Amino acid sequence: MRNMMTLLLALVAFSFTAQAQMELPQPSPEAEMEQMVGLTEIEISYSSPGVKGREIFGGLVPYGKIWRTGANKATALSFSRDVMIADTEIPAGEYSLFTIPGEDEWTIILNSETELWGTGSYDEANDVVRFTATPEQHEEFVERFRILVEDFDNEKAHIAIEWADVVVTFPVMVHTKKQAYASIEETLSPSWQRYAQAARYAWEQEGDLDNAGLWASESIAVESTWYNHWIMGEVLAEQGDTEAALEHMNMALKLGNEAENFWYKSRVEENIENWTAKK
């Protein structure tokens, strides 16, 4: 009987403990930012404290001292491919992001040690790159600390550190063209689709008309389709050869009208009309 009573009391205590657990918001919740820039994925993980009426820079975050750039565990910044920051090649991988804020200049640091809590075990010997950036007045007041990837294209992005009325940005250069052309070289095969895909990328995204024309010609040589004639016509038009461009665009219209899917018909017809008027 005593054993049964002990077991019952233990179950009651366990039940009370389980019911007593509270769900409360964290003062500095975890945040993540992911952005594909060209062929490179940039990921940022950090904790996001609030201003809460405090003086931030020069107060809570002293000038001239190393800062974890957020709260709790050191902020992590990772790249799926090699990038360049401040003229330094940064291998693909994960890094801790530290900063030294100043009134007129910040020092930005990427460190190879990624399992740091705060700055207590920070070792400058593990720095991968150090460079400076200029703080600016933010156009809005940012209550919760945040790090964003913004103003990006295929070759670069800007990482913005924002809190209170301050924003600090720095560029990250990726190597999209080099990587894309390497992929084309590795995977190009005698397929009209592959040649057309490479041609369109070179024309539309890189403005590389020479390679675009070469690959479009190779595509047509494998199989003549409305799609590769359309690309060839666009490339020739940009090179200034309107007459040759019209020939390919008219062929694109003819083959497209015979095809099951001709999703650029209106664009092809518009090109023919416009280019004919210029002759």
Check if the beta carbon of residue 76 is closer than 8 Å to that of residue 45. yes
Contact 105, 99 (CB under 8 A): no
How far apart are the C-alpha atoms of 191 and 194, rounded to whole Å?
Answer: 5
- pLDDT at 118 (0 to 100): 74
The reported pLDDT for the residue numbered 16 is 44
CA distance 123 to 101: 18
Predicted pLDDT of residue 151: 94
- Residue 27: its pLDDT value, please? 76
- One digit per residue, pLDDT tens: the chain, 279 residues? 445 544 444 544 445 455 567 887 787 778 899 999 999 999 999 998 999 999 999 999 999 999 999 988 889 999 999 999 999 999 999 999 999 999 999 999 999 998 887 777 889 999 999 999 999 999 899 999 999 999 999 999 999 999 999 999 999 999 999 999 999 999 998 999 999 999 999 999 999 999 999 999 999 999 999 999 999 999 999 999 999 999 999 999 999 999 999 999 999 999 999 999 876
The single residue listed with the structure tokens 């002759």 is 279
Using a cut of 0.75, tell me whether the model's pTM lies above it.
Answer: yes
**pLDDT score of 3:** 52
Is 188-278 a CATH 3.40.50.300 domain? no
The total number of residues written for the chain in this structure: 279
Report yes or no: 38 and 81 within 8 Å, Cβ to Cβ: no
Q: Range(s) for CATH 1.25.40.10 in the chain?
A: 188-278
3-state secondary structure of 71: coil
> Beta strand pairing status for 40-47 and 30-37?
antiparallel
Sequence-ordered list of residues with C-beta below 8 angstroms from that of 85, at least 6 positions apart, any chain: 110, 129, 131, 170, 171, 172, 173
